């Protein structure tokens, strides 16, 4: 149905698998371990070393297809490579394919001015800096982005920003150089023309990092999630993206591919959870037989395989439709994948945790942190309920 991988994509896939085996899995635990307090938000030298290896081998910016800096892969092709490095929580950064930078690079590539691309996109593509995307707010239900209250007010040749944001992934990193901020610039305009997006350097006066936020206790250092306050933050007018009132237009262009990338990585994470579930089941003996001989464990393994395959087919169909008909035409398939994949991954990882017993919830195995990631993504990039509602409206519209 979807077609075959090109020779180029197949070669990249094979080299990615080899790189993961040789460099990522052996170093994964060292990269996941917490750094000392005074350096926990600083990139580890080991990460930088692995990035240089990946770049040298041409495994770099594989998501990017807007210019010579990327591999020029289709969504369908990238999806299968993304699944491979999605098996490790540390791998996306190694290949410069991690959120939120991927989404911000897409925004700058599509909507940025030449000056914005030179100042912000180029160093992101080179992994010289990192970035964050500031939309969610604590005082309103940000799943409805029309609720966003942060003020972006024109003042001569500048914009002045006031507001509070939270769950801003990447903002804690010392290398985070700028935020793309979504806020309201004209409350009198039509509902979806009130919002704008603007680039705010993180060292701008008035921007304060209030605190890091944890996901089930995980800080996800050195990237982290933060609460930010903007108090009379003043930036040049040329930092505005696309133009006033174009925030929703940019958001729709960013979130569709971003949701699919999350799904692709989570399928890889679920596959790895199934692998370690099987390995554990074969190696552990209880009550006279291996866990693999227990009916309940075999049921968990069989069900996990079914659910992973269903999720993969749905995600690949969405990616294929994005390639053939565009992101807008594929929005319902993207929504279905966004609903199904994080839920599937959390179930599979939970079964793997159960088979591992106490080890499964410890820091010695990647499963506990992987579960936190999968569970969080049922909320991130729009909660499941929002996507189900949109799908229901579409289905009902067919009946008048």
Residues 374 and 290 occupy one common structural domain:
yes
Residues 219 and 273 occupy one common structural domain:
no
CA 264 to chain centroid: 10
Residue with tokens 């992934």: 169
Beta strands of the chain (E only): which ranges?
130-134, 151-155, 158-169, 176-184, 195-201, 207-213, 225-236, 285-286, 289-290
CATH number at residue 78: 1.10.540.10
Judged by DSSP in three states, 351 sits in: helix
Q: Which two tokens stand for residue 301?
A: 């393994």
- Whether 235 is in a domain gets the answer yes
Q: Which two tokens stand for residue 84?
A: 């491979």
Residues 255 and 390 occupy one common structural domain:
yes
Boundary (domain end) residue, out of 184, 207, 241: 241
Q: Where is 261: in which H helix or E strand?
A: helix 247-283
- Whether 84 is in a domain gets the answer yes
Residues 24 and 73 occupy one common structural domain:
yes
Residues 220 and 253 occupy one common structural domain:
no
- Whether 50 is in a domain gets the answer yes
Residues near 341 by beta carbon (within 8 Å), at least 6 away in sequence: 262, 263, 266, 267, 311, 314, 315
User: In order along the chain (400 residues), what is the average pLDDT of each group of 10 residues?
Assistant: 80 97 97 91 98 97 86 92 97 96 95 98 98 97 92 98 98 98 96 97 98 95 96 98 96 80 96 98 97 98 98 96 93 95 98 98 95 94 92 94
Residues 293 and 219 occupy one common structural domain:
no
Boundary (domain end) residue, out of 194, 225, 241: 241
- Whether 76 is in a domain gets the answer yes
3-state DSSP helix/strand/coil % of the chain, to nearest 5 = 55, 15, 30
- What is the pLDDT, as a whole number, of residue 256? 72
Residues near 235 by beta carbon (within 8 Å), at least 6 away in sequence: 158, 159, 161, 198, 199, 200, 201, 204
Q: What are the backbone dihedrals phi and psi of residue 290, each rounded to the nearest 5 degrees, phi first?
A: -70, 160
* CA atoms of 369 and 249, how far apart (whole Å): 34
Q: Are strands 289-290 and 151-155 parallel, antiparallel or unpaired?
A: unpaired
* CA atoms of 340 and 382, how far apart (whole Å): 13
Boundary (domain end) residue, out of 98, 119, 148: 98
Q: How many CB atoms lie within 10 A of CB 83?
A: 23
Residues 303 and 319 occupy one common structural domain:
yes
Residues near 108 by beta carbon (within 8 Å), at least 6 away in sequence: 116, 117, 120, 121, 124
Number of domains in the chain: 3
Residues 270 and 381 occupy one common structural domain:
yes
pTM of the model: 0.94
Query: Which residue range(s) make up the domain with 164?
Result: 130-241
- Whether 321 is in a domain gets the answer yes
Residues 181 and 320 occupy one common structural domain:
no
CATH number at residue 231: 2.40.110.10
- Whether 117 is in a domain gets the answer no
Residues 200 and 254 occupy one common structural domain:
no
Residues 293 and 383 occupy one common structural domain:
yes
CB 141 within 8 A of CB 149: no
CATH number at residue 254: 1.20.140.10
Q: Which two tokens stand for residue 149?
A: 């209250």
- Whether 77 is in a domain gets the answer yes
- What is the pLDDT, as a whole number, of residue 1? 43
Residues 253 and 237 occupy one common structural domain:
no
- Whether 179 is in a domain gets the answer yes
Per DSSP, 242 falls in state S
* CA atoms of 342 and 360, how far apart (whole Å): 19
Q: How many CB atoms lie within 10 A of CB 384?
A: 16
Query: Based on the number of CB atoms within 10 Å of its own CB, is 50 exposed (0-12), middle (13-18) or buried (19 or more)?
Result: buried
């Amino acid at each position: 149905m979807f077609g075959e991988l090109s020779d180029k994509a197949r070669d990249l896939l094979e080299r990615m698998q080899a790189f993961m085996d040789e460099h990522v899995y052996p170093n994964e635990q060292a990269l996941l371990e917490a750094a000392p307090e005074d350096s926990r938000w600083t990139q580890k030298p080991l990460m930088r070393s692995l990035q240089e290896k990946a770049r040298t081998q041409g495994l770099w910016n594989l998501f990017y297809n807007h210019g010579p800096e990327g591999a020029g892969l289709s969504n369908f092709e990238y999806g299968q490579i993304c699944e491979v490095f999605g098996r490790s929580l540390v791998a996306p950064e190694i290949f410069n394919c991690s959120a939120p930078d991927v989404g911000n690079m897409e925004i700058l590539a599509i909507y940025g001015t030449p000056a914005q691309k030179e100042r912000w996109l180029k160093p992101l593509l080179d992994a010289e800096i990192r970035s964050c995307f500031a939309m969610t707010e604590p005082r309103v239900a940000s799943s409805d982005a029309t609720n966003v209250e942060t003020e972006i007010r024109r003042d001569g040749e500048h914009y002045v920003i006031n507001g509070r944001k939270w769950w801003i992934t990447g903002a804690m990193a010392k290398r985070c150089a700028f935020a793309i901020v979504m806020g309201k610039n004209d409350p009198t305009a039509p509902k979806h023309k009130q919002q704008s997006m603007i680039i705010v350097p993180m060292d701008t006066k008035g921007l304060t990092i209030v605190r890091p936020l944890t996901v089930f206790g995980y800080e996800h250092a050195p990237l982290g999630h933060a609460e930010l306050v903007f108090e009379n933050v003043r930036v040049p007018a040329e930092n505005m993206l696309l133009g006033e009132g174009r925030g929703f237009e940019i958001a729709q262009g960013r979130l569709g591919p971003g949701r699919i990338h999350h799904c692709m990585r989570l399928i890889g994470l679920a596959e790895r959870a199934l692998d370690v579930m099987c390995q554990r089941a074969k190696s552990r003996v209880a009550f006279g037989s291996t866990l693999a001989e227990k009916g309940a464990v075999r049921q968990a393994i069989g069900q996990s395989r079914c659910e992973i395959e269903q999720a993969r087919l749905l995600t690949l169909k969405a990616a294929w439709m994005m390639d053939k008909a565009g992101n807008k035409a594929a929005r319902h398939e993207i929504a279905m994948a966004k609903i199904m994949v994080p839920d599937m991954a959390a179930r599979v990882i939970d079964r793997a945790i159960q088979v591992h017993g106490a080890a499964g919830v410890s820091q010695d195995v990647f499963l506990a942190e992987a579960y936190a990631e999968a569970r969080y993504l049922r909320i991130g990039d729009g909660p499941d309920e929002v996507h189900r509602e949109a799908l229901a409206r579409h289905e009902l519209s067919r009946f008048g």
